[in-house]
Amino acid sequence: MNGTQFEDPIAVCLAHPDEAILAVIAGVDGPSYRPLGACMTVLGKKQYAGTLSSGCVEADICLHALEAKEAQAPKTVRYGKGSPFFDIQLPCGGGLDILLLPNPQMDVLRDLQDRRDAREPVSLCIDMTSGAMSLHEEGATAREGDTLTIRFEPEPRFLVFGKGPEAATFAALVEAAGYPNLLLSPDTETLQSGTAAGCTTQHLKSAQFPDDLAVDHRTAVVLFFHDHEWEPPILMPALQTDAFYIGAQGSHAANAARLETMRTMGASDADITRLTGPVGLIPSARDARTLAISVLSEVLHKLNEARA
């Protein structure tokens, strides 16, 4: 495997328990391309998964990681501001501390991956001196002395309901970006388009929110229907979930009619305030591609606001 930023470093680490060296950003001084706690797995001189910079230091990290592996001891390397390596520069002008763990605890990482697969928030604590690891229910990403804590939240997940090119294009964009998603539609052509784009699909046989859908605080529910009668029976149950974003396509007039219908169905003012409509950062987007980009940007912006 050549170096790539697209492989999940924890998964690669678990897949190569004997060779893997885990590299983690353990300190950030000033601007940085990647945040505190970002991970990279090194397997050889030019073999790694994940990235800790814009490509400036990965090759050198691999060399230091192999040295740590040979010494069988954790090692911290400084790059950029305050670094002894004057020939390696960070374009952002900041400084990075990279913790190298030659023997990461696979049992702890396996438990971590299980938690991530189950979409359970969890914090990984690392003793930078000994390399000892432990998992905790609470704890924000931070470094205190020689203890580094990394918070792992579930990836944003998208439940896409709808019919037509808007629903299929949005689901395809989400899939291309690498986010977990499910496209639900009553329309065979829409489902076929989603499948061709690599999306997971489900045939929606009636206007309802399936009981077996798992929805957590990192899930977005987005509706793309031209027949707006489908929307209230799906949106009402969605409002009873922890979804951080619930929105539906349509004009301002369609949105007003939708909200009025939902009020007659028992939606409270608090419920109504949770709904986004019309969806998207770009007003009156007229084609499926622009609408998809507009809505995805809005959803991620809202998620970022909630995190701040």
Q: What is the pLDDT of residues 45-93, one digit of tens each?
A: 889 999 998 778 889 999 999 999 999 999 999 988 877 877 677 777 7
Q: Is the peptide bond before 210 cis (omega within 30 degrees of 0)?
A: no
Residue 2 clears pLDDT 70, i.e. is over it: no
- The DSSP symbol for 155 reads P
* Domain positions in the chain: 9-152, 157-307
Q: Is a pLDDT exceeding 70 seen at residue 212?
A: yes
Residue 308: per-residue pLDDT: 60
Lowest average pLDDT, out of 46-50, 55-59, 119-123, 150-154, goes to 55-59
If one compares 192 and 96, the residue with the highest pLDDT of the two is 192
> What average pLDDT does the chain have?
93
pLDDT at 83: 77
As a whole number of angstroms, the distance between CA 73 and CA 126 comes to 14
Stretch 152-180: mean pLDDT, rounded?
97
Architecture of domain 157-307 in this structure? 3-Layer(aba) Sandwich (3.40)
Q: Are 83 and 95 in contact (CB under 8 A)?
A: yes
Radius of gyration of the chain (CA): 23
What whole-number distance in Å separates Cα of residue 234 and Cα of residue 223? 9
What pLDDT does residue 4 have?
A: 62
Paired tokens of 112:
């971590």
Q: Which pair of structure tokens corresponds to residue 19?
A: 């060779």
The sign one gets for the Cα dihedral 223, 226, 227, 232 is: positive
214-236 burial code (b ≥16 CB/10 A, e <16) = ebeebbbbbbbbeebebbbbbbb
What is the Cα–Cα distance from 295 to 285, expressed in whole angstroms? Answer: 10
Q: How long a stretch of residues is the chain?
A: 308
